[in-house]
Structure 1
Amino acid sequence: MSNCGCAPGQPCGCCQGTQVLTPRTISNRPGLPALTYRVGTQGTFLETMKARLSSADYPALAGLRTREASDPAIALLDAWACVGDVLTFYQERIANEGYVRTATERRSVLELANLVGYRLRPGVAASVYFAYTLENKSLPVVVPAGSKAQSIPDPGETAQTFETSEDLEARVEWNLLKPRPTRPQRIDYNYSEKALTTDTVYFDGTATKLNPGDGLLFDFNGTRLLRHVKTVKADYTAQRTQVILQETAQPLAAAAHAATAFGTAFSTTHMMSSTKGDGDGQGVIPLDALSFLAPSLSVPATPQLASAANLARSVSQVFNASADVHPQLLSQFYPLAAAYFYQAWAVSFLDYAYSPLTAVYAMRVIANPFGYTANKTPNFGSDNKVTSQSDWSPSGEGADLLFLDTFYGSISNGSPVAIQAPDGTYTYSDVGTHTEVARSAYGLNGKSSRLDLTPSSWPGYTGTTIDNLRKTLVYAGAERLGLAQEPIPDDVKGSQITLDDLYSDFKAGRWIIVTGERTDVRINASQTLPGLVGTELAMIAGVLQDVDLTLAGDTVHTTLTLAKPLAYTYKRSTVGLYGNVVKATHGETRNEVLGGGNAGPLQTFVLKQPPLTYVSAPSVDGIASTLQVRVNEVLWHEARGLAGLGPRDRAYLTRTDNEGKTSVVFGTGDQGLRPPTGLENIAAVYRNGIGKSGNVKAGQISLLASKPLGVKAVVNPLRASGGADKDTRDQARWRAPLATLSLDRLVSVQDYADFAMTFGGIGKASATRLTDGVRQLVEITIAGVDDIPIDQSSDLYANIQKAFRTYGDPYQPIRVDVRELRLLVINAGVKVLPDYLWVNVKPKIQAALLDAFGFERRDLAQPVYLSEVIQTIQGVVGVAYVDVDALDSVPEGVTADDLAQLSTQLQAADQPHARIPAREAWVDPTQTDPAKRIRAAQLTILSPAVPDTLNLKELT
Structure 2
Amino acid sequence: MRVVYDTAGRTPVRAEFQYVEGSSSDQRAENLPVVQPLTFPLGTGQVELSVRSGQDRDLSWLNRRPTDSQDPGVTARFHSGLPERALFVSRPDDEGLVHVGIHNGTSEQISLRPNTGEQFTHGEYEVSLRYTVGTTEPNVEVVIASKPEPLNRSILQLDSVHTGITVGSWVAIQRPAKGAQGGIPGDAKLAFVTTQVVAARTAAYTNYGITGRGTELTLAAPWLDEFDVLLSHVRDTTVHAAGEPLRLADEPLGEDVHGNEVELAELYDGLRPGRTLIVSGERSDVPGTTGVQATEVVTIAAADPAVDPQLPGDHVHTRLTLTADLAHRYRRETVRILGNVVEATHGESREEAIGSGDSDRVNQTFALWQSPLTWLADDNPLGATPVLEIRVDGVLWHEVDSLAGRGPGERVYITGSTADGRTTVTFGDGISGARLPSGHENIRAPYRFGTGKAANVAADRITQPLTRPLGVTQVTNPRPAKGGADADGPGLTRRTIPLAVSALDRLVSASDYEDFARSRAGIGRAAARELFDGRRRVLHVTVAGTDDVPIDGDSDTLRALRGALTEYGDLNLPVRVDVRELVLLLVAAKVKVARDHAWEVVEPRLRQALLRRLGYEGRELGRPARLSDVLATAHSVPGVDYVDVDVFTGVPASAMPEELTGILTDPGPPKASVAAHPATYDEKVHTVRVANGETLSEICAKYGVPLAELLRLNPDITDTRRLAKGRSVFVFRGIRPAQLALLSPRAADTLILTEVK
TM over 0.5: yes
- 1:790 partnered with 2:555: no
Partner-residue secondary structure (3-state), 2:485: coil
| 1:409 shift after superposition | 8.5
Cα shift readout 1:757-812 (whole Å, capped 9, x = no counterpart)? 11111111111111221222122111111111112343223222222222223443
**What residue in structure 2 maps to residue 936 of structure 1?**
737
| 1:556 shift after superposition | 4.6
| 1:490 shift after superposition | 1.5
**Inter-partner Cα distance in structure 2 for 1:809 and 1:543:** 39
- 1:917 partnered with 2:675: yes
| 1:944 shift after superposition | 2.4
- 1:582 partnered with 2:346: no
Instruction: Assess if the C-alpha contact under 8 Å between 2:390 and 2:444 holds in 1.
Output: yes
**Inter-partner Cα distance in structure 2 for 1:932 and 1:545:** 41
Cα shift readout 1:343-363 (whole Å, capped 9, x = no counterpart)? xxxxxxxxxxxxxxxxxxxxx
Partner-residue secondary structure (3-state), 1:581: coil
Cα shift readout 1:455-487 (whole Å, capped 9, x = no counterpart)? xxxxxxxxxxxxxxxxxxxxxxxxxx9976432
Listed as ranges, the matches of 1:175-194 within 5 Å are none
Listed as ranges, the matches of 1:505-520 within 5 Å are 505-520=270-285
**What residue in structure 1 maps to residue 750 of structure 2?**
949
Given candidates 772, 777, 789, the residue that maps to 2:538 is 777
Instruction: Assess if the C-alpha contact under 8 Å between 2:409 and 2:434 holds in 1.
Output: yes
Partner-residue secondary structure (3-state), 2:353: strand
Instruction: Assess if the C-alpha contact under 8 Å between 2:347 and 2:451 holds in 1.
Output: yes
Given candidates 668, 675, 678, the residue that maps to 2:436 is 675
Counterpart AA for 2:682: D
| 1:940 shift after superposition | 0.8
**Inter-partner Cα distance in structure 1 for 2:596 and 2:248:** 89
Listed as ranges, the matches of 1:89-488 within 5 Å are 485-488=250-253
Cα shift readout 1:858-882 (whole Å, capped 9, x = no counterpart)? 0011112222222111111223333
**Inter-partner Cα distance in structure 1 for 2:334 and 2:664:** 40
Listed as ranges, the matches of 1:382-781 within 5 Å are 485-522=250-287, 524=288, 528-529=289-290, 531-548=291-308, 550-551=310-311, 554-599=314-359, 600-781=361-542
Counterpart AA for 2:746: A
**What residue in structure 2 maps to residue 833 of structure 1?**
594
Counterpart AA for 2:545: G
Counterpart AA for 1:667: G
| TM-score in terms of structure 1 length | 0.47
Inter-CA distance 946–494: structure 2 relative to 1 (3 Å threshold) = same
Counterpart AA for 1:492: V
Inter-CA distance 549–495: structure 2 relative to 1 (3 Å threshold) = same
**Inter-partner Cα distance in structure 2 for 1:840 and 1:679:** 58
Partner-residue secondary structure (3-state), 1:486: coil
**Inter-partner Cα distance in structure 1 for 2:348 and 2:656:** 44
Instruction: Assess if the C-alpha contact under 8 Å between 2:452 and 2:486 holds in 1.
Output: yes
Counterpart AA for 1:601: V
Which protein is richer in helix relative to its size? 1
Partner-residue secondary structure (3-state), 2:342: strand
Instruction: Assess if the C-alpha contact under 8 Å between 1:537 and 1:793 holds in 2.
Output: no
Q: In terms of Rg, which structure is larger?
A: 2
| 1:697 shift after superposition | 2.2
**Inter-partner Cα distance in structure 2 for 1:483 and 1:941:** 59
Inter-CA distance 856–711: structure 2 relative to 1 (3 Å threshold) = same
**Inter-partner Cα distance in structure 1 for 2:671 and 2:373:** 48
| 1:504 shift after superposition | 4.0
Sequence identity, in percent? 46
Given candidates 868, 871, 874, the residue that maps to 2:632 is 871
Counterpart AA for 2:285: D
Partner-residue secondary structure (3-state), 2:612: helix
Partner-residue secondary structure (3-state), 1:713: coil
Counterpart AA for 1:493: H
**What residue in structure 1 maps to residue 21 of structure 2?**
none
**Inter-partner Cα distance in structure 1 for 2:337 and 2:305:** 18
Instruction: Assess if the C-alpha contact under 8 Å between 1:622 and 1:800 holds in 2.
Output: yes
Inter-CA distance 864–683: structure 2 relative to 1 (3 Å threshold) = same
**Inter-partner Cα distance in structure 2 for 1:904 and 1:557:** 52
Inter-CA distance 837–484: structure 2 relative to 1 (3 Å threshold) = closer
Instruction: Assess if the C-alpha contact under 8 Å between 2:279 and 2:335 holds in 1.
Output: yes
Counterpart AA for 1:770: L
**Inter-partner Cα distance in structure 1 for 2:277 and 2:682:** 35
**Inter-partner Cα distance in structure 1 for 2:247 and 2:594:** 89
Inter-CA distance 715–867: structure 2 relative to 1 (3 Å threshold) = closer
**Inter-partner Cα distance in structure 2 for 1:891 and 1:621:** 32
Inter-CA distance 575–824: structure 2 relative to 1 (3 Å threshold) = closer
Inter-CA distance 903–773: structure 2 relative to 1 (3 Å threshold) = closer
**What residue in structure 2 maps to residue 443 of structure 1?**
none
Counterpart AA for 1:579: G
Counterpart AA for 2:280: T
Instruction: Assess if the C-alpha contact under 8 Å between 2:391 and 2:444 holds in 1.
Output: yes
**Inter-partner Cα distance in structure 2 for 1:898 and 1:661:** 50
Instruction: Assess if the C-alpha contact under 8 Å between 1:492 and 1:572 holds in 2.
Output: yes
**What residue in structure 1 maps to residue 222 of structure 2?**
none
| 1:955 shift after superposition | 4.7
Counterpart AA for 1:560: L
* Aligned-residue CA RMSD (Å): 2.8
Counterpart AA for 2:740: L
**What residue in structure 2 maps to residue 14 of structure 1?**
none
Counterpart AA for 2:357: G
Inter-CA distance 953–573: structure 2 relative to 1 (3 Å threshold) = closer
Instruction: Assess if the C-alpha contact under 8 Å between 2:248 and 2:313 holds in 1.
Output: no
Instruction: Assess if the C-alpha contact under 8 Å between 1:702 and 1:714 holds in 2.
Output: yes
Query: Gaps (5+ residues) in structure 2?
Result: 1-187, 191-245, 686-709, 714-731
**What residue in structure 2 maps to residue 204 of structure 1?**
none
**Inter-partner Cα distance in structure 1 for 2:753 and 2:619:** 22
| 1:904 shift after superposition | 6.5
- 1:808 partnered with 2:566: no
Instruction: Assess if the C-alpha contact under 8 Å between 1:512 and 1:540 holds in 2.
Output: yes
**What residue in structure 2 maps to residue 926 of structure 1?**
684
**What residue in structure 1 maps to residue 31 of structure 2?**
none
**Inter-partner Cα distance in structure 1 for 2:337 and 2:643:** 58
Inter-CA distance 887–556: structure 2 relative to 1 (3 Å threshold) = same
Inter-CA distance 409–535: structure 2 relative to 1 (3 Å threshold) = same
**Inter-partner Cα distance in structure 1 for 2:412 and 2:247:** 75
Moved more, 690-699 or 833-842: 833-842
